[in-house]
Amino acid sequence: MARRIVIIVALGLGLSAIAEYLVGLGSRQLSGWYGYAPLPASGTAALPGTGIPAGGRLLIWLGIIALWAVASVLILRPHRDHP
């Protein structure tokens, strides 16, 4: 049972990383040392209206959470002993 819980936690962390990647697609973040505003010549300024809309980000997170919940139920379900 302990191994199953470790697998579920690892799966959750992995799916979280995937969701972060998917949500960040198409958006340009501020960069620089500790996230300070970049210099104008760097071309990495965050532009308004770029990236996935808020509703799309919500759907991505809800889909990832649903996938994790289903996988957790399947992993934790009791297994039948085969004779």
Which of 7-11, 29-33, 56-60, 67-71 is the least confident region? 29-33
Position with higher pLDDT, 32 vs 40: 40
Cα torsion angle, 27, 28, 31, 35, sign = negative
| Angle at the Cα of 35 from the Cα atoms of 52 and 9, rounded to 5 degrees | 60
Measure the CA–CA gap between 8 and 75, rounded to whole angstroms: 8
User: How is residue 25 annotated by DSSP?
Assistant: T
Beta carbons within 10 angstroms of residue 19's beta carbon: 19
Q: What is the pLDDT of residue 17?
A: 93
Phi, psi of 53 (to 5 degrees): -60, 165
* pLDDT value at 35 more than 90: no
- What is the value of pTM for the model shown? 0.66
Name the residue ranges covered by the structural domains of the chain.
Answer: 53-83
